[in-house]
Structure 1
Amino acid sequence: MDRRSIIKNAGIAGVLAAGAAPAVHAQAAIRWRLASSFPKALDTIFGAADVFAKKVGEMSGGKFTITTHAGGELMPAFGVVDGVQNGTVEMAHTAPYYFFGKDETFALGCAIPFGLNSRQMTAWMYEGNGGKLMREFYAKYNIVNFPGGNTGAQMGGWYRKEIKSAADIKGLKFRVGGFAGKVIERMGGVPQNIPGGEIYTALEKGTIDAAEWVGPYDDQKLGFGKVAPFYYYPGWWEGGPQLDFFINDKAFAALSPENKAIVEAAASYAHVEMQAKYDARNPKALKELVGAKVKVMPFPKDVLDLAFKESMALYAEISAKNPNWKKVYDDYAAFRKDQNLWFRFTEARFDSFMQAQKL
Structure 2
Amino acid sequence: MKKLMQLFTAVALVTITNANAGWFDGDDKATEAKQDNKVYTLTLAETWPSNFPVFGDATKKFAQLAHDMSGGRLAIRIDSKNKHKSALGIFDFVKSGQYDLGHSASYYWKGKDANTLYFTTMPFGMTASEQHAWFAYGGGQELMDKVYAKHGMKSIIGGNTGNQMGGWFKKEINTVEDLQGLKMRIPGFAGDVMAKVGAKPTNIPAGELYTALDRGTIDALEWVGPSLDLRMGFHKVAPYYYTGWHEPATELQFLINLKKLNSLPKDLQDILTNAMELAAYDMYAHSEYASAKNWATMKKDYPNIQVKTFPKPVFDALKQANTELLEERAKSDPVAKEIIDSQQAYLAKARAWTAISDQSYLNALGN
Give the TM-score taking structure 2 as reference length.
0.88
What are the Cα deviations for residues 300-320 of structure 1, in whole angstroms up to 9, with x where unaligned?
112211111000100000111
C-alpha distance in structure 2 between counterparts of 1:278 and 1:56, whole Å: 21
Say which is worse superposed, 149-158 or 62-71, in terms of deviation: 62-71
Q: 1:312 aligns with which of 323, 331, 344?
A: 323
C-alpha distance in structure 2 between counterparts of 1:349 and 1:197, whole Å: 40
Say which is worse superposed, 338-347 or 91-100, in terms of deviation: 338-347
Q: Secondary structure at the match of 1:149?
A: strand
Judge conservation of contact 1:105–1:325 (CA < 8 Å) in 2: yes
Correspondence for 1:269 = 278
1:289 is aligned to 2:298: yes
C-alpha distance in structure 1 between counterparts of 2:333 and 2:52, whole Å: 35
Judge conservation of contact 1:75–1:83 (CA < 8 Å) in 2: no
Correspondence for 2:103 = 93
Judge conservation of contact 1:40–1:47 (CA < 8 Å) in 2: no
Higher-Rg member (1/2): 1
Correspondence for 1:353 = 364
Judge conservation of contact 1:33–1:90 (CA < 8 Å) in 2: yes
Correspondence for 1:7 = none
C-alpha distance in structure 2 between counterparts of 1:146 and 1:41, whole Å: 22
Q: Secondary structure at the match of 1:349?
A: helix
C-alpha distance in structure 2 between counterparts of 1:203 and 1:79, whole Å: 23
Correspondence for 1:63 = 73
Correspondence for 1:45 = 55
Equivalent residues in 2 for 1:52-201 (5 A)? 52-201=62-211
Judge conservation of contact 2:121–2:248 (CA < 8 Å) in 1: yes
C-alpha distance in structure 2 between counterparts of 1:351 and 1:177, whole Å: 30
C-alpha distance in structure 1 between counterparts of 2:335 and 2:37, whole Å: 40
C-alpha distance in structure 1 between counterparts of 2:50 and 2:310, whole Å: 31
Say which is worse superposed, 45-54 or 88-97, in terms of deviation: 45-54
> RMSD in angstroms over aligned alpha carbons?
1.6
Judge conservation of contact 1:36–1:94 (CA < 8 Å) in 2: yes
Q: How far apart are 1:244 and its partner, in Å? A: 1.0
Judge conservation of contact 1:42–1:218 (CA < 8 Å) in 2: no
Correspondence for 2:257 = 248
Judge conservation of contact 1:177–1:213 (CA < 8 Å) in 2: no
Q: How far apart are 1:177 and its partner, in Å? A: 2.2
Correspondence for 1:202 = 212
Q: Secondary structure at the match of 1:238?
A: coil
Judge conservation of contact 1:181–1:192 (CA < 8 Å) in 2: yes
Q: How far apart are 1:25 and its partner, in Å? A: 4.3
Judge conservation of contact 2:50–2:82 (CA < 8 Å) in 1: no
Correspondence for 2:332 = 321
C-alpha distance in structure 2 between counterparts of 1:72 and 1:142, whole Å: 26
Correspondence for 1:225 = 235
Q: How far apart are 1:35 and its partner, in Å? A: 0.6
Q: How far apart are 1:93 and its partner, in Å? A: 0.6
Q: Secondary structure at the match of 1:49?
A: helix
Judge conservation of contact 1:84–1:247 (CA < 8 Å) in 2: yes
What are the Cα deviations for residues 84-115 of structure 1, in whole angstroms up to 9, with x where unaligned?
11111001011100111222211111111111
Q: Secondary structure at the match of 1:240?
A: coil
The one-letter amino acid of 1:89's match is Y
What are the Cα deviations for residues 101-131 of structure 1, in whole angstroms up to 9, with x where unaligned?
2222111111111111111110011011111
C-alpha distance in structure 2 between counterparts of 1:150 and 1:251, whole Å: 26
Equivalent residues in 2 for 1:331-350 (5 A)? 331-350=342-361
Say which is worse superposed, 199-208 or 339-348, in terms of deviation: 339-348
Q: How far apart are 1:172 and its partner, in Å? A: 0.6
Q: How far apart are 1:275 and its partner, in Å? A: 1.0
Correspondence for 1:9 = none
C-alpha distance in structure 1 between counterparts of 2:330 and 2:82, whole Å: 34
Q: 1:237 aligns with which of 238, 246, 249?
A: 246
The one-letter amino acid of 1:71's match is K
Give the TM-score taking structure 1 as reference length.
0.90
Judge conservation of contact 1:35–1:75 (CA < 8 Å) in 2: no
